[in-house]
Amino acid sequence: MTEVTYYTQEGLDKLKEEVHYLTTTGRQLISKAIAEARDKGDLSENAEYDAAKEAQGLHEAKISKLKATLASARLIDESKLDTSKVLALSIVKIKNVKNGATMTYQLVAESEADMKSGKISVKSPIAQGLLGKSVGDKAEIEVPAGKIEFEILEISR
């Protein structure tokens, strides 16, 4: 059984688009590659055909995995999020107590995580250390560089 994953509307739409692309265009491209390889002659010694068939298997496995994720995906109504504590989909402004640097992150599902846009996975060490905390709370979080203490400055949705 796959675990339930919570998504924003944007994240859920991206997941649906990817499944649609892979099941339509992606499958067509792989079928074309298999047909071209088959046209090159003897299949028993055709490495191109073997590679295309292997790519097809990996492609179908990816589709299957994404469909399972989609089946267990739940949409969160962001307008009803509690902003008194850090939860999945919260936008959290934190300050590194040691150097005073502030950062703002949104805690999202693993598949939506994107550091460039400030979205971190709820399964990341920082998110795990922040979950359930309130404004003013401090969280000591173990990261690859060692322990860092963060203070929660603001929680929004």
Domain at 58, CATH number? 1.10.287.180
- The model's confidence at residue 22, banded by pLDDT at 50, 70 and 90, is very high
**Tens digits of per-residue pLDDT, 104-153?**
999 888 878 888 989 998 889 999 999 989 899 999 998 888 899 999 99
The token duo for 114 is 């994107």
State the Cα–Cα distance between residues 101 and 105, nearest whole angstrom. Answer: 13
* 20, pLDDT greater than 90: yes
Q: Are residues 43 and 89 in the same domain?
A: no
* 42, pLDDT greater than 90: no
Q: Are residues 152 and 82 in the same domain?
A: yes
DSSP 51-94: HHHHHHHHHHHHHHHHHHHHHTEEE--GGG---SS--TT-EEEE
Q: Are residues 125 and 106 in the same domain?
A: yes
Q: Are residues 114 and 50 in the same domain?
A: no
**Tens digits of per-residue pLDDT, 55-70?**
999 999 999 999 988 8
Q: Are residues 11 and 64 in the same domain?
A: yes
State the Cα–Cα distance between residues 82 and 157, nearest whole angstrom. Answer: 8
**What is the number of domains present in the chain?**
2
Q: Are residues 65 and 99 in the same domain?
A: no
- The model's confidence at residue 78, banded by pLDDT at 50, 70 and 90, is low
Domain that holds residue 60: 5-75
* 49, pLDDT greater than 80: yes
Q: Are residues 12 and 28 in the same domain?
A: yes
- The model's confidence at residue 11, banded by pLDDT at 50, 70 and 90, is confident
Task: Confirm if 43 and 49 have CB atoms less than 8 A apart.
Answer: yes
* 45, pLDDT greater than 60: yes
State the Cα–Cα distance between residues 90 and 156, nearest whole angstrom. Answer: 6
Q: Are residues 92 and 138 in the same domain?
A: yes
Q: Are residues 101 and 65 in the same domain?
A: no
Q: Are residues 92 and 151 in the same domain?
A: yes
Burial of 86: CB neighbours in 10 Å, binned 0-12, 13-18, 19+? buried
Q: Are residues 19 and 70 in the same domain?
A: yes
Mean pLDDT over 31-41 rounds to 86
